[in-house]
Structure 1
Amino acid sequence: MEGELKVDKFGYEVRTSSDACISAINAFYDQVLNYRRRRSVILEAAAHDDQCVLANILAAYFLSSDPSRAPSHLQAAKSRLEQATPYEKAVFDAVNCLISKDRDDDVAFELHSKLLKSFPRDLASLQRAQVLCFYMARPGLSLDLVQQVLPSNEQEDFVYGMLAFPLLELGRMEEAEKAAKKGYEINKRDCWVQHNMCHVLQYNCRFKEAVEFMEECSPSWDLCSSFMFTHNWWHVALCYLEGRAPIQRIRDLYDHFIWKELERPDAPRPEVYLNALGLLLRVHVRGEMDAFEDHLKTLANCVTDQANWYLDWQFDILVLWALAYTGEISRAEELLKGLKSRITKMNEKKQQFMQNAILLAEATYEYGKGNEKQALELLGHDFDADNYKMIGASGEQIDIFNEVWYCMLLNNGQAAKAIEVLKKRIKSREGIPFLWRLLERGYKLTGRDEEAATASEEAKRLENAYFP
């Protein structure tokens, strides 16, 4: 029996005879678009109709990191593909390529682009494609996709968060803020829109405004995934840190809204560890680690567990720093060796693309060990962290490696170079006190006392401006 046709929440035909199956598919879409915790609901869809192609291919995608469970759903989808609707076939082709062991990112993108041309209201597939673009370090492609489907989704709040993110990654902050505001007007509880608004405010050094906005939004985060919940609080903590709030305030946020998330039985630990490490590296670079030393040791002990490795390049690189910094050298070396091994197993095109990732991993490992000179040599004289986004990091996440580089320049006799790059950076982020302090230090090291005094005065003014 071919089964009857039903329509999903986007208005597209799905071959299933089960109302419960289509309801679970729609619930999965809601979980995905709202960055919620219960994305496993897609497994219920496949259980209600084990012959539904859409249910099974989406279940295979959800389980793609579990090689013991995903193949059965993929095979079930393949076995019924001839009976599937055109929409289901398009989703199958795109997802099947995406979860393939030897996937070609360009082909996966093209298949998603083709899918969205025919079925532009499928915002779940748009989100999936944007995640792909993020790991390709291609925000321009991501923007092209969302602009392609925008005319069919102008009343949907989710689409404006999806529009805002690539715009801000491309540095088009005014347009990103406009898009985020439009999405927020439609749905004030959209956590992705909130997150992107914070990104814009943070980039523009409107730290107090960002904190007030996010803390007002925070009651709506309780149902968010562990990553989204802790990541939004990570942004809040960074804004306090950049605005020179008392370090105890940042520690309280870490304790109560990041580390405390691990008490939830359903919390995927690496998602929490990623945001914890990202915050602690910032704290370390700013010289405030004394308030967190016990926290870092606890966290480093957790990430010695190899079960947490090789899930995400940004995470692995932060783990390398934590392990090396806390003296877990043999574990750090094991992780670095494993990353290099994974590079060798990639096709030639992917190997070339990921060369900067492994370079950053090596440099971060050396930096963690205290071998700054060697780390600096690895990163080179013209380092720019924006060229390393293939590790799966946003502009705000990757920028910490610029700051590490600035500090290493100052610590290793390259103050003139540090002044040059800091002045350039301050032109776009002039409201960050820490950058002015680094510039002050550079001027002092080169005997330019008058300019050092000017930088110091600006740093003091900003330090008192945000959270006096």
Structure 2
Amino acid sequence: MGEKGVKFDKWGYQVKTFSDKCISAINDFYDQVLNYGRKRSIILEAPVHDGSCVLANTLAAYFSSSTHPSEALSFIQSAKSHYDESTDYEKAIFDAVSCLISEDRDDDDALQLHFKVLRENEEEAYIHGMLSFPLLELGRMEDAERAARKALEINEHDVWAQHCLCHVLQYECRFPEAVQFMEECSPSWSSCSSFMYTHNWWHVALCYLEGHSPVVKVLDVYDHCIMKELDKDDATRPEVYLNALGLLLRLHIRGEISLFEDRLKNLAELLTDKALWYLEWQLDLLMLWALTSRNKLSDAQELLEGLKLRVSKMNDKKQKLMQRGVSLAEAVYEYGRGNDEHALQLLGLDFNACDYKVIGASDEQLDVFNEVWYSLLLNTGQATKVIEVIERRFESRDGVPFLWRLLEKGYLMMGREEAVRAADKANHLESAYFR
């Protein structure tokens, strides 16, 4: 205990509260967030023990913001009413979180506010795991792998670092190595949140898929390691659906959806629940595809119009930023309906999914929209463009059999002899990864 009414959290920061139970709930929440645990709701206990604690209310608002906006607003208002008597640390957290969860948030402002609360700790695995992710998103794969492995040296059960290392192995087309590593790590995921648990298995399934493993292996992951999560009482449905849909769309693009048709139909029925809508852009886009592809056009149209309406109510800066998300949503809607010409017109001939990070997705998650674009180009006779784009992509990543198959199709459409070479390369890769 420091001065009267001030306690210290597990990091040594001052928090204005008289309640040991309040501090305990805050510390438990830190652990749950950093470990992607499924008991993040522990933070809701903190303001129960001390309703005047600014940090307790602020973190409760952050936790509630994505699923219960009205509750989040109530927590923020409670925090704001005691802001003046809080510590500098609490003020910094309040300012950052308030900006982050605001409907008109400015991401640049939110980032700058977070830098004010950043504290380095070289001996914490979390620091290196969190560093690894932006490095890999910047394409610095060697540095990202080094940071992830450093985190795992400190704590081999750091789930985020495991996930980051899988990203690197997957990008470098080391698919069997990635699968073996993740399957060995998987026992440590039992306490993870629905998102982290199913997302790690999504990576495993993608490695099987990209490495041309039998599709029944992907089916097994989908059934038993993604959708099975919904059997748990504390499962978070949107987090599960996000990873399920991301996998199903890739299967559809590859012409492997036949084994999953009933699963997609059942999932599309669940997606008509409007409580799932507008929680995050990436999920909304994937739901648009599922709803349109299963001919639930009225639901899809309502979802799309709702996205446009929400953007129209944003400030000018945010509207301009989110316009990419709107155009991608429109294209996905048309793609799901089978209107390939219109979908391609919306995306254009210079599309690159990495330019659409505004929807809140990693490069790996966004790449499915590149694959949609490749398919649209082929379906509309743009073989020259497909060849140009994929050949350029092979300069950095040429170990995915599916891309060689697309290149083969492009060459065949143009009557070019290189189709034989592309087919041979695809055959070699398909037989090399999972024997």
Q: Which residue of 2 aligns with 1:128?
A: none
Provide Cα deviations, 1:80-125, integer angstroms capped at 9, x if missing partner. 2222111111112222222233332222222222233xxx1xxxxx
What is the identity, as a one-letter code, of the residue corresponding to 2:426? A
Structure 1 unaligned segments of length 5 or more: list them.
121-151
Structure 2 Cα separation of the partners of residues 67 and 289 of structure 1? 36
Structure 1 Cα separation of the partners of residues 393 and 104 of structure 2? 39
What is the identity, as a one-letter code, of the residue corresponding to 2:157? R
Q: Which residue of 2 aligns with 1:213?
A: 181
Structure 2 Cα separation of the partners of residues 87 and 40 of structure 1? 22
Equivalent of 2:423 in 451, 456, 467: 456
Provide Cα deviations, 1:342-389, integer angstroms capped at 9, x if missing partner. 111111111111111111111111111111111111111111111111
What is the identity, as a one-letter code, of the residue corresponding to 2:330? E
Provide Cα deviations, 1:6-41, integer angstroms capped at 9, x if missing partner. 111111111212111111110000001000011111
3-state DSSP class of the match of 1:14? Answer: strand
How many residues were matched structurally? 432
Q: Which residue of 2 aligns with 1:184?
A: 152
Aligned: 1:467 with 2:434: yes
CA displacement at 1:323 relative to structure 2: 0.7
Q: How does 1:421-432 map to 2 (within 5 A)?
A: 421-432=389-400
What is the identity, as a one-letter code, of the residue corresponding to 2:78? A
Structure 1 Cα separation of the partners of residues 65 and 38 of structure 2? 17
Q: How does 1:65-464 map to 2 (within 5 A)?
A: 65=66, 66-116=68-118, 120=119, 152-449=120-417, 451-464=418-431
Structure 2 Cα separation of the partners of residues 3 and 457 of structure 1? 75
What is the identity, as a one-letter code, of the residue corresponding to 1:356? R
- Indicate how the Cα distance of structure 1 residues 369 and 101 shifts in structure 2: closer, same or farther if over 3 A, else same: closer
Structure 1 Cα separation of the partners of residues 284 and 93 of structure 2? 31
What is the identity, as a one-letter code, of the residue corresponding to 2:73? P
Structure 2 Cα separation of the partners of residues 70 and 86 of structure 1? 22
What is the identity, as a one-letter code, of the residue corresponding to 1:48? H
Q: Which residue of 1 aligns with 2:31?
A: 30
- Name whichever of 337-346 and 203-212 sits farther off: 337-346
Q: Tell me the percent identity.
A: 65
What is the identity, as a one-letter code, of the residue corresponding to 1:304? T
Structure 2 Cα separation of the partners of residues 237 and 224 of structure 1? 18
3-state DSSP class of the match of 2:191? Answer: coil
What is the identity, as a one-letter code, of the residue corresponding to 2:424? E
CA displacement at 1:67 relative to structure 2: 3.5
Structure 2 unaligned segments of length 5 or more: list them.
none
Structure 1 Cα separation of the partners of residues 125 and 208 of structure 2? 28
Provide Cα deviations, 1:232-266, integer angstroms capped at 9, x if missing partner. 00000000001111111100110000111111121
Structure 1 Cα separation of the partners of residues 4 and 83 of structure 2? 13
- Indicate how the Cα distance of structure 1 residues 322 and 79 shifts in structure 2: closer, same or farther if over 3 A, else same: same
Structure 1 Cα separation of the partners of residues 102 and 70 of structure 2? 15
Structure 2 Cα separation of the partners of residues 382 and 465 of structure 1? 33
What is the identity, as a one-letter code, of the residue corresponding to 1:17? F
Aligned: 1:46 with 2:41: no
Structure 1 Cα separation of the partners of residues 152 and 203 of structure 2? 18
Q: Which residue of 2 aligns with 1:129?
A: none
What is the identity, as a one-letter code, of the residue corresponding to 1:63? S
3-state DSSP class of the match of 1:265? Answer: coil
Provide Cα deviations, 1:273-307, integer angstroms capped at 9, x if missing partner. 01000000000111101111111101111101111
- Indicate how the Cα distance of structure 1 residues 413 and 68 shifts in structure 2: closer, same or farther if over 3 A, else same: closer
CA displacement at 1:407 relative to structure 2: 1.4
- Indicate how the Cα distance of structure 1 residues 201 and 372 shifts in structure 2: closer, same or farther if over 3 A, else same: same
Structure 2 Cα separation of the partners of residues 3 and 97 of structure 1? 30
Structure 2 Cα separation of the partners of residues 242 and 406 of structure 1? 16
3-state DSSP class of the match of 1:427? Answer: coil
Q: Which residue of 2 aligns with 1:127?
A: none
Structure 2 Cα separation of the partners of residues 95 and 14 of structure 1? 16
> How much is the aligned-residue C-alpha RMSD, in angstroms?
1.2
- Name whichever of 308-317 and 3-12 sits farther off: 3-12
Provide Cα deviations, 1:407-430, integer angstroms capped at 9, x if missing partner. 111121111111010101122121
Structure 2 Cα separation of the partners of residues 434 and 164 of structure 1? 27
Runs of 4+ residues deviating >3 angstroms: none
Structure 1 Cα separation of the partners of residues 150 and 78 of structure 2? 41
What is the identity, as a one-letter code, of the residue corresponding to 1:462? L
Q: TM-score, normalised by structure 2?
A: 0.97
Work out whether residues 103 and 314 of structure 2, in 8 Å CA contact, stay in contact via their aligned partners in 1.
no
Work out whether residues 210 and 402 of structure 2, in 8 Å CA contact, stay in contact via their aligned partners in 1.
yes
What is the identity, as a one-letter code, of the residue corresponding to 1:441? K
Q: TM-score, normalised by structure 1?
A: 0.90
Structure 2 Cα separation of the partners of residues 278 and 264 of structure 1? 21
- Indicate how the Cα distance of structure 1 residues 218 and 380 shifts in structure 2: closer, same or farther if over 3 A, else same: same
CA displacement at 1:3 relative to structure 2: 4.6
Structure 2 Cα separation of the partners of residues 344 and 102 of structure 1? 11
- Indicate how the Cα distance of structure 1 residues 386 and 68 shifts in structure 2: closer, same or farther if over 3 A, else same: closer
Structure 2 Cα separation of the partners of residues 326 and 71 of structure 1? 36
- Indicate how the Cα distance of structure 1 residues 60 and 253 shifts in structure 2: closer, same or farther if over 3 A, else same: same
- Indicate how the Cα distance of structure 1 residues 258 and 428 shifts in structure 2: closer, same or farther if over 3 A, else same: same
3-state DSSP class of the match of 1:37? Answer: coil
